[in-house]
Structure 1
Amino acid sequence: MQTETESDSLSEFRDWAYLPPEIVDLISVKVKYIVDYVRFRAVCSSWRSASCPKPRHLPPQLPWLMFPYAEKARSKNVRTRFFYDVWESKMREIPIPETWGMTCCASYRGWLLLVSYKGRQVSLLNPLTRCEIELPAFSCTWYHLYWVDFGKSKMTFSADLTHPNCLITVFLENDWVISCRIGERSWKRCQLL
């Protein structure tokens, strides 16, 4: 049988998962490093739902460098990517099955532009928040895209991806520029002089 003091001391240790969402949100905005923010959201489902999946309060972060799948990973059908965290000088291993069979042809503000073989599937992926945005496929009439070295491509957004008029622009290494808005069915393209 528990004594009164034992009962009181047990009640002092509340389950952190039951913090009010307002308190969780107040704590989440105090986190300043993206890795810590990802860990914060991974504590439990109630903390994840109470915190913003696209935090705007984080200061600019040094980029992580993503490594291609190693041959060993391909042969074992492993869906894990390795990232080099410049800030902490550490390798990080993150399971990202969405990147399997896709080429990362550009990145911007933490988003990866993923393209499947011959551009039949194109999407934006945030590897930390796991948010994915489908984009139009590349046109099969763009025969020159099949020979593009996507590793030399660059990407930019005109605004935050949640903005209805956000324009996504990709600069390809063959002096072609393609752009689209989220929800459009095709890319517009032009060649630079």
Structure 2
Amino acid sequence: MAAGDEAGSDSGGDGAGPGQAALQETTQDLQMSFVRMMQTHSPQSWSALPSELAGMVLCRLPSHVDRVRFAAVCHHWRFSRQEHSLPPPLPWLAFPDGTFFGLPRGDGAKESFKLPVSANYCITCGDWLVFSQNDTCFLMNPFSKITLTLPKLSSFCLVDEPVGIINGRDVVDEDMSGPLLQMDTAISLRKVIRCSGLLIAAIVDIGPLCTVAYCQPGSTTWLVSGLGSKGSVIDMMFYEGMLYVIDEFNDLLAINVRQDNDNCKLRVSRIERLLDAAPCVFNLIHGGIS
């Protein structure tokens, strides 16, 4: 009977026997411990950022003003600024004779370089500057003084790319081989990206066509994409081996550009539409269009 009474006391009535009471007490203890831990725990300060990570952040701040602001946060960040060797800061001061000067370094020395004679500045490509000279383009890194030669602006042809776009409209070859692609004109550069040591991508204007073109440093011909025959290319970026392009329809395309193993020439192996923007609907109303 004693055993039965004990068993009944665990399972009968309101169910609050010794076993459940012990569980509730344990849960309450854990909750109180968690509350006390949260009350006594103080979040880490930004000043605790390891010096190695602070150096990585600094290397991504090319502006002298941003570096000064970084060092002004706290003593630890100011020490990190002094501890790391950083590339010369931007901005550069440009003079009419083609000479560029940088701000003085800590030792008082100035970084400077001069453009080649008759070279015309086009656009910026990250740490690279794009120039044209006698119909030839080249990239120059003012920090390392490395220069990469690009094809002439008058030399271009169609790139080898798939006709079909995955999840999107097709690239029709007939549209490009017709009057839309004007072979008797020159390319005008809008944006240039150095994707890798073997790939340069650019947004180009060829007559009424605004599309993407590719080349390899030192090659003689720009390879023009047929994407511009369906809609002008607005912007692009290179990320983790893929070129991402936004067209005038606000569609996001991913382009895989690779070097052919057989002839070492560039070819587009895949074009995929990742985002399909909502169509823009026009309605005729009194006095205009909405």
TM-score (normalizing by structure 1): 0.45
Larger radius of gyration: 2
| Larger strand share, 1 or 2 | 2
TM-score (normalizing by structure 2): 0.32
